[in-house]
Amino acid sequence: MASFLAAALQLSSTPDAAANLAQAEELIDLAARRGAELVGLPENFIFLGAEEQKLQQAASLAEQASRFLVTMARRYQVTLLGGGFPVPAGEAATFNRAELVGPDGQLLGRYDKVHLFDVDLPDGNTYTESSTVQAGDIAPPVVEVPGLCRVGLSICYDVRFPELYRHLAGAGAELITVPAAFTAFTGKDHWQVLLQARAIENTAYVLAPAQTGLHYGRRQSHGHALVIDPWGTVLADAGVATGVAVAPIDTGHLQRVRAQMPSLRHRHPSLF
């Protein structure tokens, strides 16, 4: 059984990578000083700007992001999730990649986002992630983090696809990460309820770092980085300002919830 603090960071990223990383380090430092041992950065933590700029800078952004995660994990002695950054995938595309790095700087796991956000919203915004992002073709991993728990990876729009989280639960995930840049329009109605559903149906903790505020043009993120327990209780909410949501993760509590509500054992996978 393990008990530790986890932190979901909330950023307001821009097209300025250096400024974004400076902001991220401030919040990692804050989370570490509050005792967090597992810290999550949101999707697009290093860059949130025009797609053309992202493609032009992709190689540099990927190198900077990976190096930053290793440096910060070592400096602050935390397990650090980089919730999504561009990695070149050919001439005119990137992967949207999450990496989990241990306190010794070793890569524990990575995941390339499978579900891409191609949506026309009633607020007039159109999102076509697939125009510049290549979908991953490997299911997200569950990573054994020494001394903490088993962590399952996902990214943002994945949260609308419950089969992905059933896969993670089946592979032993005790905590599920959902780093995101969720739109303000959909977030007000769907963000928290979807995360609570994923926690409840898989009796797992959810750590959901988030982007917040207006980034460029009309793009606005919902905020509300959350930590949710296996019963679906919101343990911490960062609100709409940049900051940190910190809460305890207790695998003993998780096991008690799974004993009280053993729905994972009552499945009929041969039928569905």
The per-residue pLDDT for 218 is 75
Residue 105: pLDDT over 90: yes
- Per-residue pLDDT band at 216 (split at 50, 70, 90): confident
Q: What pLDDT shows up at residue 198?
A: 98
Can you tell me the distance from the alpha carbon of 115 to that of 165, in angstroms, rounded to the nearest whole number?
13
Chain-wide mean pLDDT for the chain?
96
Catalytic residues: 43, 113, 156
The answer, yes or no, to whether residue 219 has pLDDT greater than 90, is: no
Residue 102 has pLDDT above 90, yes or no: yes
In this predicted structure, what is the pLDDT of residue 158?
98
Please give the residue that has the higher pLDDT: either 47 or 272. 47
pLDDT above 80 for 250: yes
What 3 state SS string does 207-263 have? Answer: EECEEEEEEECCEEEECCCEEECCCCCEEEECCCCCEEEEEEEEHHHHHHHHHHCCH
- The mean pLDDT of 191-199, rounded to a whole number, is 98
Beta bridge partners of 248: 5
pLDDT of residue 270: 86
Mean predicted confidence (pLDDT) in 121-149: 92
The stretch 150-159 carries a mean pLDDT of 98
Residues 205, 207, 212, CA angle at the centre, nearest 5°? 150
Q: How confident is the model at residue 90 (pLDDT cuts 50, 70, 90)?
A: confident
Spatial contact of 177 and 80, defined as CB atoms under 8 Å apart: no
Query: What are phi and psi for residue 217, nearest 5 degrees?
Result: 55, -125
For residue 1, the model assigns a pLDDT of: 82
Region label for 177, one of left (φ > 0), alpha (ψ between -120 and 50) or beta (otherwise): beta
Under 8 Å between Cβ of 180 and 43: yes
pLDDT band at 122 (very low <50, low <70, confident <90, very high): confident
Residues in the chain, how many?
A: 272
Rg (CA), the chain: 17
Instruction: Output the pLDDT for position 125.
Output: 76
Q: What is the DSSP letter of 148?
A: S
Domain boundaries, the chain: 3-266
pTM: 0.97
Q: Is the pLDDT of residue 77 over 80?
A: yes
How far CA 129 is from CA of 58, 93, 95, 141, 269, in Å, comes to 15, 10, 10, 22, 32
The CATH number of 3-266 is 3.60.110.10
